[in-house]
A and B are shown apart, each in its own frame.
Chain A
Amino acid sequence: MPPDTTRAARPLPLVEISGADARDRGRQYGEQTRSLIERSLAFYREEFERKSGLAWPDVVERVPRWYPLIDEYAPGLLDEVRGIAEGSGRSVEEIVALNGRGELRTRDPFAEGADCTSFVVTDEAAGDGHVWCGQNWDWRSETAGTAVMLRIRQPGTPTIVTLVEAGQVGRHGANSAGIALNANGLAAPFQNGLGIPAPFIRRRTLESAGMDQALEAIFTARQLLSTNVLLTHREGFAIDVETTPGRHGWAYPRDGVYAHANAFTAFVPPQVGASYRPASSDSLIRAERVERTLRRAPETSSSAEMHALIVEALSDHLGHPNSVCNHPDPRAPRTFETLASLIVDLTTGAFWVAGGNPCTTEFELLPWNIYEDAGELPANLTAAGAHA
């Protein structure tokens, strides 16, 4: 599709938190996002009841069962959550519920798919020799306006830039160690019981100084939901991991390009092997379409051209409105749309965000380069960089 010169700016709020003290970081976060958290809670209160039949008092009563799991998996992170609660004037349980919104919506047999399309183009394919990744984040129209770009600076830990719904501790983003995480729902819950809510898994992954820690975070997590996690490293390594409560599957870029939507493609978990069908059939269009466009990456000759090619891929309208660039479907009782689109140049650290459909929204360069704090990188990572 031809470049659209009429794209409008729709910036997301920028929230910065910093410090060694988790509780204090949380307070900073909660204070800055108080009204968004309130809005988000109003939506999910109703949503949980509708999807899982859990009345709000039940949700609030039960979420503490997650605490031991979360504490063991990501020590200290619950303190940040407590801080968010304090800063926003809400209860801790409410903030945990916002982080567990995926898990709290799982029991509906009529579940709609959560649609997202992620991509990576490594230096092997990109005409400018850079490593690029990003995604469209498609979610319920009602949650528009609750997302923020969050920068988390913690001494001794890589600095994180992540797109979150206000109150969440991590979602899609990149860190100053050159690791990016993009994620897509895979639906297909096939296990009951307690599992670590996804934002905690993603946050721990984004706190990784190296790919060893990032994979460790993904492969040791005991979770309830199946989620696709695309990990990219600035040295040109990328792996897509289809995570489930049991076995994980994985795949690598082919000739430096990879796209993933909301269907299992690396494997089908045996637990759903006899009956698996993707929750969103348009997923089968979206991943293919994005890859097809990005296959032209070697023909680009500059970073600007690479960026434009990615915008083109993310703006694709085949299968509209359930296309890569996702628009509300007037036939659906509850609508989804692309609420944000992310493009990260992991080589330079530039991070662009569009706060709405990429076909009509301008990608704005964040004022934060992800490597601004790279001075905090451990020496061994700097040494590893010499092998790039």
Chain B
Amino acid sequence: MSRTEIPLIEVSSPDPRERGRQYGEAARAQIELSVAYYREGFERSAGLPWDTVLGQVPRWNPLVEEYLPGILEEVRGIAEGAALRTEEILALNGRGELSFGDPFGEEECSSYALLPEATGDGHVYCGQNWDWRADTLDTVVMLRVEQPPAPTIVMQTEAGQVGRQGANSAGIGLNANGLGARFGTGLGIPQPYVRRRILDSPGLDDALHAVFSSRQSLCTNLLITHRDGYAIDLETTPARHGWLYPERGMLVHANHFQSFVPEQLEETYRPFAPDSLYRVPRIERVLRRARQASTSGGVRATIAEGLGDHFGYPNSVCNHPDERAHPLDRTITVASSIVDLTAGEYWMAFGPPCENDYELLPWRLYPSDEASEAAPTSVASSATG
């Protein structure tokens, strides 16, 4: 099957407005598609006219500005570059939060982290299947953000969004999964800003601080991995967060609470996507074998096998549209990632991994003159072994 064409977009400037303009110009067609999709989606599912949405979104601005200074300038730049209204870009970045009443359901994703003790090549890996509406496949872009002095970011995102899933030049990887549950009231910072701030982080301390200082309105799972052989999974809610660590160097997370059940939900909680309950053990079952792979290629092949699993098809790890669902509600794995945080390599399959090969992006996470230093000292010996 032919590969889905995904635009690779590079933006580079210390000036956020300028970065936004570059992004908006380069992704104009995809952003327009995305606006059209959500415009229709909000109307159909929530009965929210687009004008009403656009009238509400500026209410987030003070929260966002305080949480991540400068990012709104980037949003304005995106609007300029794409020749759209700033409010429309704000809406794209708040599409999850806008969907109270659940007009879009949730993203069903499966994420993983592998630490050196779990991989035959001694590298640190992270990544995920990103499962989302089949109709949004054409709005996915790969974005590289060079923003001195902050770390350079490589990420997959819906066109117009400032953050989703990715990794940065400081060796931090971020993967995310919807948790479905909603409680709490009031405005919260939309996820793309939280995720961007994590990916802007030069250190793990900053990344965790970004997670624990955000005021949000929905529940999301965030898996943060560091190239020095550390990973933590954070089940974030508008109130308390739960967390867990890899066991025997492996952590897999999908769309249900695994570390705790928030008190607000404890009497009634049921996972919004019950298939999440088998996606986790199915991936674990395969990834356990990554230890036996003797090369990085072998580790990647094992990961690809795990992410291509069809148990419970079509609601499987490798997700395919369910013919029984409403056409606008059908989901598919729009992108699948394997990030080698040790080597700085970013591998992507666009579309379901069972029929799309993983390709190495032309972007290295770490500058090439640093390549020899990229492997942290703590795993250097096993990496060269």
Contacts and interface: CB of A to CB of B under 8 A. Distances in A.
Interface of A: 210-212, 215-216, 218-219, 233, 235-237, 239, 246-248, 250, 252, 269-271, 380-381, 383-384, 386-387
Given A211-B278, A218-B274, A270-B267, A247 B261 contact: yes
A384 B313 CA distance: 7
Given A210-B312, A211-B311, A237-B282, A271 B267 contact: yes
B314 interface: yes
A269 B267 contact: yes
A239 B256 CA distance: 14
B266 interface: yes
Interface in B54-106: none
24 contacts: A211-B278, A211-B311, A212-B313, A212-B315, A212-B316, A219-B270, A233-B311, A236-B285, A237-B278, A237-B311, A239-B278, A247-B268, A247-B269, A248-B270, A270-B267, A380-B310, A380-B314, A381-B313, A383-B310, A384-B310, A384-B312, A384-B313, A387-B308, A387-B310
A130 B180 CA distance: 36
Interface of B: 261, 265-271, 274-275, 277-278, 281-282, 285, 308-316
B313 A210 contact: yes
A239 B316 CA distance: 16
Contacts of B315: 210, 212
Contacts of B309: 387
A261 B73 CA distance: 60
Nearest to A216: B274
Nearest to B305: A387
A212 B312 contact: yes
Contacts, number: 65
A314 B282 CA distance: 29
A212 B275 contact: yes
State the main secondary structure of chain B at its contact with A. Answer: loop
A247 B281 contact: no
Contact of B266 (A247, A381, A384): A247
A215 B267 contact: no
B281 A270 contact: no
Nearest to A239: B277
Nearest to B322: A212
Contacts of B310: 380, 383-384, 386-387
A252 B258 CA distance: 13
A23 B308 CA distance: 42
Contacts of B261: 247
Closest 9 CB pairs of A and B: A215-B274, A212-B315, A212-B312, A219-B274, A384-B310, A211-B312, A247-B269, A212-B275, A246-B268
A236 B281 CA distance: 11
A218 B271 CA distance: 11
B235 to A, nearest CB: 16
Given A236-B285, A383-B313, A387-B309, 4 more contacts: A212-B313, A215-B275, A235-B311, A246-B268
Nearest to A247: B269
A167 to B, nearest CB: 30
B281 A380 contact: no
B270 A247 contact: yes
A380 B285 CA distance: 21
A160 B268 CA distance: 31
Contacts of A247: 261, 265-270
Contacts of B269: 247
Given A237-B281, A237-B311, A247-B267, A384 B274 contact: no
Most buried by B among A211, A247, A269, A270: A211
Nearest to A271: B267
A387 B308 CA distance: 9
A215 B278 CA distance: 9
Contacts of A236: 285
Contacts of B282: 237
A283 B261 CA distance: 26
B355 to A, nearest CB: 12
B215 to A, nearest CB: 26
A248 B278 CA distance: 15
Nearest to B265: A247
